[in-house]
Chains A and B, each alone.
Chain A
Amino acid sequence: MNLHEYQSKKLFFNHGIPVLDGEIANSPREAKKAAENLQSDIWVVKAQVHAGGRGKAGGVKIARSISEVEEMASEMLGTNLVTKQTDSEGLPVNQVYIESGTSIQDEYYLSLLVDRTKESWTYIASREGGVDIEAVAEDSPEKIINYTIDPSKGLDLSSLHKVAAQMGFQDDVASQFISITKKMFEIAKEKDANLIEVNPLILNDGNQLIALDAKISIESNALFRQEELLSLKDESQENELEVKASEHDLSYVSLDGNIACMVNGAGLAMATMDLIKLHGGEPANFLDVGGGATTERVKMAIDIIMENPNVEAILINIFGGIVRCDVIAKGITEAVKSTSIDIPIVVRLQGTNVDLGKKILEESGMKIISASDLTDAAIKVVSSVKG
Chain B
Amino acid sequence: MSILVNKESKILCQGITGSQGSFHAKQCIEYGSNIVAGVTPGKGGTTHLDVPVFNSVVEAKTETEIDVSMIFVPAKFAADAMKSAIESEIELIVCITEGVPVQDMIEVKAMLSGSDSILLGPNCPGIITPEETKIGIMPGFIHQKGSIGIISRSGTLTYEAVNQTSNCGLGQSTCIGIGGDPIKGLNFIECLSLFDEDPETDGIVMVGEIGGSDEEKAAEFIKNNISKPVVAYVAGVSAPPGKRMGHAGAIVTGNEGTASSKYKALNDAGVRTTYSPAMIGEIMKDLLGQ
Residues of chain A touching chain B, judged by Cβ–Cβ distance below 8 Å, are: 85, 114, 116-117, 119-121, 134, 138, 151-152, 188-189, 192, 194, 219-222, 224-225, 251, 253, 255, 263-271, 273-278, 283, 286, 288, 291, 319-322, 350-352, 373-375
- Which among A85, A264, A274, A283 is the interface contact of B156 at CB below 8 angstroms? A264
The answer to whether A219 touches B155, judged by C-beta atoms less than 8 angstroms apart, is no
CA distance A265 to B138 in the complex (A): 12
The answer to whether A266 touches B180, judged by C-beta atoms less than 8 angstroms apart, is yes
Question: Number of B residues contacting the other chain (C-beta, 8 Å)?
Answer: 62
The answer to whether A219 touches B139, judged by C-beta atoms less than 8 angstroms apart, is no
- Which among B109, B113, B246, B278 is the interface contact of A266 at CB below 8 angstroms? B246
The answer to whether B152 touches A116, judged by C-beta atoms less than 8 angstroms apart, is no
**Given A266-B247, A286-B239, A351-B139, A219–B277 Cβ distance below 8 Å?**
no
The answer to whether B238 touches A270, judged by C-beta atoms less than 8 angstroms apart, is yes
- Known: A225-B101, A265-B157; 14 extra A-B contacts, CB below 8 A, are A188-B103, A221-B75, A222-B101, A222-B102, A266-B245, A266-B250, A267-B153, A268-B154, A268-B277, A274-B277, A278-B237, A288-B246, A352-B141, A375-B276
A-B contact pairs, 7 of them (CB 8 A): A151-B106, A151-B107, A152-B111, A267-B155, A271-B160, A273-B239, A275-B276
- Which among A119, A267, A274 is the interface contact of B238 at CB below 8 angstroms? A274
Binary interface encoding of chain B residues 121-165 relative to chain A, with 1 for a CB under 8 A from any of its CBs, else 0: 000010000000000011101100000000011111111100100
The answer to whether B245 touches A253, judged by C-beta atoms less than 8 angstroms apart, is yes
The answer to whether A286 touches B246, judged by C-beta atoms less than 8 angstroms apart, is yes
- Which among B106, B156, B244 is the interface contact of A121 at CB below 8 angstroms? B106
- Which among B102, B210, B233, B240 is the interface contact of A194 at CB below 8 angstroms? B102
- Which among A188, A255, A274, A291 is the interface contact of B137 at CB below 8 angstroms? A291
The answer to whether B139 touches A267, judged by C-beta atoms less than 8 angstroms apart, is no
CA distance A368 to B278 in the complex (A): 22
**Given A152-B110, A274-B237, A275-B276, A114–B154 Cβ distance below 8 Å?**
no
Give the residues in chain A near B239, CB-CB below 8 Å. Answer: 270, 273, 286
The answer to whether B102 touches A276, judged by C-beta atoms less than 8 angstroms apart, is no
Residues of chain B touching chain A, judged by Cβ–Cβ distance below 8 Å, are: 75-76, 99-107, 109-111, 113-114, 125, 137-139, 141-142, 152-160, 163, 180, 182-183, 207, 209-210, 212-213, 233, 235-240, 242-250, 254-255, 275-278
Give the residues in chain B near A120, CB-CB below 8 Å. Answer: 106, 110
- Which among A117, A119, A274 is the interface contact of B109 at CB below 8 angstroms? A119
The answer to whether B235 touches A221, judged by C-beta atoms less than 8 angstroms apart, is no
The answer to whether A114 touches B103, judged by C-beta atoms less than 8 angstroms apart, is yes
The answer to whether A224 touches B245, judged by C-beta atoms less than 8 angstroms apart, is no
A379 to chain B, nearest CB (A): 10
Closest residue on chain B to residue A153 by CB atoms: B110
The answer to whether A320 touches B183, judged by C-beta atoms less than 8 angstroms apart, is no
**Given A275-B276, A286-B246, A375-B278, A270–B235 Cβ distance below 8 Å?**
yes
9 smallest beta-carbon distances between A and B, as pairs = A267-B154, A266-B246, A265-B156, A267-B157, A222-B101, A374-B278, A116-B182, A151-B110, A268-B156
